[in-house]
């Protein structure tokens, strides 16, 4: 007889990650012998550069294989301060820096360190799947601010103002965005900053993970740089996962006010402790070493984005805007809702669309409901040009077959 497991109330409200579920389902179909093209995962297909790998190998050989300070090595914190100054014009001291095993736990540690029951966190939608769920796990209340295609999926000052209440503790900004690729211009951030200046109880968590992936000469800005008066209540978060193709190494970081960083340090010291010492040495090399590989990779992503946007816009019933950055596009599939697939299944929503597409044409995408905005879906173009070409042929064929 097995005993019934009782789960935490907070966890009962949390959904599993839809992006991980799609990736797992695609991998299962693949291992069962199907020719699946996965456009679900948000992971660079490029390899980690050799100089970064060598730094890790050196760290192992030199026996740098022990515990480090829980929220990061002093040398890594110094490298992170260097990065913020060099790339964002932001001055931080190492005591203002938090390092964790990936960007994900950085955000979670910040929320756990600051939220009390009933505290609200504004999450613009479409959102990265983990934000609302991490807010819930930390005991807070996500307040979803819908940002539709009319505003290029971006939060406007009016929408921000309308979402703020006396209980608002944080607004989460993510530019360029997962899932839409939309990035905020300096002027757009200025507009949001003006609203935030009027609400001193609201802190800003800016997730700048895709900073290096912007296209067509887009000029990247982060909010503390645009409005220095917000510096004292902004947590500027970033990581090596995407730009440096280091998803498996698990290093994310953030900089912000010392008191907040100290509180986050308390959380990490009693939970995961430090990220792998070896990965930290690799991250030092990533941030301090040559950056010249970034530009050719960025160019490849831009070419793929252009190809994917053009290909999707040829599909009957789809409409795909051209985003400024990241490696995602977020086409609307409003034009196929209500149609019937060859299997006889009526496409009632974006989840049906993604499921039928995977089953019929073996192309994995993530449905928009997972990101809080329907009917749409997310395509990750962090995959080879050949795979993307083939996937676009299949998606076009699938849409043409819907009646």
Ligand X SMILES: Cc1ncc(COP(=O)(O)O)c(C=O)c1O
Q: Name the residue nearer to ligand X (CB basis): 246 or 260.
A: 246
Find the shortest distance in angstroms from Cβ 258 to ligand X: 23
Region 5-64 residues binding ligand X, contact defined as CB under 6 A:
42
Find the shortest distance in angstroms from Cβ 1 to ligand X: 39
Q: Name the residue nearer to ligand X (CB basis): 247 or 383.
A: 247
Stretch that binds ligand X, among 21-29, 86-94, 239-247, 350-358 (CB under 6 A): 239-247
Q: Which of 71, 188, 207, 351 binds ligand X (CB under 6 A)?
A: 207
Q: Which of 173, 202, 209, 347 binds ligand X (CB under 6 A)?
A: 209
Structure-token pair, residue 398:
């699938």
Q: Name the residue nearer to ligand X (CB basis): 252 or 317.
A: 252
Q: Name the residue nearer to ligand X (CB basis): 168 or 241.
A: 241
Q: Name the residue nearer to ligand X (CB basis): 40 or 239.
A: 239
Q: Name the residue nearer to ligand X (CB basis): 241 or 332.
A: 241
For the chain, the three-class secondary structure string (H helix, E strand, C coil) is CCCCCCCCHHHHCCCCCHHHHHHHHHHHHHHCCCCCEECCCCCCCCCCCHHHHHHHHHHHHCCCCCCCCCCCCHHHHHHHHHHHHHHHCCCCCHHHEEEECCHHHHHHHHHHHHCCCCCEEEEEECCCCHHHHHHHHCCCEEEEEECCHHHCCCCCHHHHHHHCCCCEEEEEEECCCCCCCCCCCHHHHHHHHHHHHCCCCCEEEEECCCCCCECCCCCCCCHHHHCHHHHHHEEEEEECCCCCCCCCCCCEEEECCHHHHHHHHHHHHCCCCCCCHHHHHHHHHHHHCCCCCHHHHHHHHHHHHHHHHHHHHCCCCCECCCCCECCEECCECHHHCCCECCCCCECCCHHHHHHHHHHHHCEECEEHHHHCCCCEEEEECCCCHHHHHHHHHHHHHHHHHCC
Contact between 323 and ligand X by CB under 6 A: the answer reads: no
Stretch that binds ligand X, among 98-106, 257-265, 280-288, 384-392 (CB under 6 A): 98-106
Of 391, 402, 368, 385, nearest to 147 by C-alpha is 368
Q: Residues 250-289 vs ligand X: string with x where CB under 6 A?
A: --x-------------------------------------
Q: Which of 175, 241, 274, 280 binds ligand X (CB under 6 A)?
A: 241
Report how many residues bind ligand X under the rule CB under 6 A. Answer: 13
Q: Name the residue nearer to ligand X (CB basis): 179 or 331.
A: 179
Contact between 239 and ligand X by CB under 6 A: the answer reads: yes
Q: Which of 247, 274, 380, 383 binds ligand X (CB under 6 A)?
A: 247
- The residue sitting closest to ligand X, measured at its beta carbon, is 102
Q: Which of 48, 174, 279, 380 binds ligand X (CB under 6 A)?
A: 174
Find the shortest distance in angstroms from Cβ 176 to ligand X: 9
Find the shortest distance in angstroms from Cβ 183 to ligand X: 12
Cα–Cα–Cα angle for 158, 160, 162, rounded to 5 degrees: 70
Kindly report whether the peptide bond that precedes residue 179 is cis, defined as omega within 30 degrees of 0.
yes
**HSE value, Cβ hemisphere, 13 Å, CA-based, for 349:** 9
Find the shortest distance in angstroms from Cβ 328 to ligand X: 9
Find the shortest distance in angstroms from Cβ 279 to ligand X: 11
Q: Residues 100-119 vs ligand X: string with x where CB under 6 A?
A: --xxx---------------
**What is the binding site for ligand X (CB under 6 A)?**
42, 102-104, 128, 174, 178, 207, 209, 239, 241, 247, 252
């Amino acid at each position: 007889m097995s005993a019934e497991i009782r789960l935490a109330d907070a966890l009962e409200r949390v959904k599993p990650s839809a992006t991980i579920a799609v990736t797992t389902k695609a991998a299962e179909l693949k291992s069962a012998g199907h020719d699946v093209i996965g456009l679900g995962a948000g992971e660079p297909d490029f390899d980690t550069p050799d100089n970064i790998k060598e730094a890790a190998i050196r760290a192992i050989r030199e026996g740098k294989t022990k515990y480090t300070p829980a929220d990061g090595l002093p040398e890594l914190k110094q490298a992170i301060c260097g990065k913020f100054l060099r790339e964002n014009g932001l001055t931080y001291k190492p005591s203002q820096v938090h390092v964790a095993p990936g960007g994900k736990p950085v955000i979670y540690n910040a929320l756990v360190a600051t939220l009390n029951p009933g505290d609200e966190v504004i999450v613009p939608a479409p959102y990265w799947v983990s934000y609302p769920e991490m807010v819930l796990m930390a005991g807070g209340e996500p307040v979803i601010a819908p940002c539709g295609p009319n505003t290029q999926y971006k939060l406007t000052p009016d929408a921000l103002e309308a979402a703020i209440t006396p209980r608002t503790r944080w607004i989460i900004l993510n530019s360029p965005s997962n899932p839409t690729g939309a990035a905020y211009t300096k002027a757009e951030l200025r507009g949001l900053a003006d609203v935030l200046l009027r609400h001193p109880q609201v802190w800003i968590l800016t997730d700048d993970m895709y900073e290096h992936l912007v296209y067509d000469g887009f000029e990247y800005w982060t909010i503390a740089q645009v409005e220095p008066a917000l510096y004292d209540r902004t947590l500027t978060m970033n990581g090596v996962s995407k730009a440096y193709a280091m998803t498996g190494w698990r290093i994310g970081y953030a900089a912000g006010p010392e008191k907040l960083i100290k509180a986050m340090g308390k959380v990490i010291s009693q939970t995961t402790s430090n990220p792998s010492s070896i990965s930290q040495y690799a991250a030092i090399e990533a941030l301090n070493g040559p950056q010249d590989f970034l530009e050719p990779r960025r160019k490849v992503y831009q070419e793929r984005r252009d190809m994917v946007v053009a290909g999707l816009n040829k599909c009957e019933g789809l409409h795909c805007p051209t985003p400024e950055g990241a490696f995602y596009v977020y086409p609307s599939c409003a034009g196929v809702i209500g149609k019937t697939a060859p299997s006889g299944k009526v496409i009632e929503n974006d989840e049906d669309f993604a499921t039928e597409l995977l089953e019929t044409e073996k192309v994995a995408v993530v449905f928009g409901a997972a990101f809080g905005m329907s009917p749409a879906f997310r395509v990750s173009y962090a995959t080879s040009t050949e795979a993307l070409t083939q996937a676009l042929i299949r998606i076009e064929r699938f849409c043409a077959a819907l009646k």
